Amino acid sequence: MSALATSTGSAHLPGIFVGQELVESLHATEGEQVTIVSPYGGSGTQPRTQEFRIVGIFHSGMYEFDARMVFVELSEAQRYLGMFQTVSGLEVWSDEPMRSADIIGKAVAKIDPADPAAYEVRDWARTNRGLFGAVRSQKGLISVVLAFIVLVAAFNIVATLILLILEKQREIATLKSLGANNGSILWIFVIDGQIVGIVGCLVGVLLGLGICGILSAYGLKLDPRVYYLENLPIVVRPLEVLGVTLGALAAATLATLYPAYKAANLSPVDGLRRGGLRAASTAQD
């Protein structure tokens, strides 16, 4: 169906609620008259038309609804479409949207236990599967990007520890000469890398949660014609935050193993010799 706006209104016409985006595209206001045109149910090749009066404008926040949906009384819709007190569909709202598939299955089974497949039933996920498919693919891509960021951070920890070991060769050799075993040297550098990872994860999580809190309080405006939504919804899932944090900590711990192993197996003689050469080179400079 389509709507055409006219500049004259009449109080005896049936009322209609129109979405804000549709009203703006029609350049109409509340109280004006609109003509609803349907290609079905007309006489011959002529479409069915009827005039309505705009009695209200609704704003749902979803561009698709505000630009395409109108609401009229059931009796007026039946009279306009010639349905003779019948309905072509039923919409049900639930407080548990994540269980919509189970609720639909149980409801249809009660209506017609013999042939539940005789009814065409769609839930919100199926109706908007294109949008949710795009969101799902973007979420997967963001997960890959996040994994690469964590991997780069792990390589930075490796590089930092290797440079630290090269700088502290003389000190490592001195500790081993005083009786420190390979295990204690290994744990020193593992703990050092874990401290870097813990601090980085803590700062990152706090910063991310702070940004999410600010966006939830003040909102982030979106173009509804592109993203279907006027504001970016913010949902913080503790399990996902915990999973990312533990994954980052695990990557930081694994990144410390190779540098710590090299430090633990450093020969005291080689460490003292290389440390002495480095000190002599520094003194000459």
Dig out the tokens for 65 from the structure: 């609804």
CATH number, span 2-81? 2.40.40
Strand ranges inside the chain, DSSP E? 2-6, 15-19, 33-38, 48-58, 70-71
DSSP character at residue 128 = T
Residue 234 identity: I
Q: Quick check: 41 pLDDT over 80?
A: no
Predicted pLDDT at 206? 93
Predicted pLDDT at 207? 93
Give the Cα-Cα-Cα angle 282, 283, 285 (nearest 5 degrees).
65
List all residues 6 or more positions away from 231 whose beta carbon is below 8 Å from its beta carbon: 61, 219, 220, 221, 222
Predicted pLDDT at 97? 78
Q: How do residues 111-145 score in pLDDT, each as one tens digit?
A: 776 776 677 788 877 777 777 777 788 888 888 88
- Domain ranges in the chain with CATH number 2.40.40: 2-81
Q: Worst-scoring range by mean pLDDT, 71-85, 152-166, 196-210, 223-237?
A: 223-237
Predicted pLDDT at 45? 65
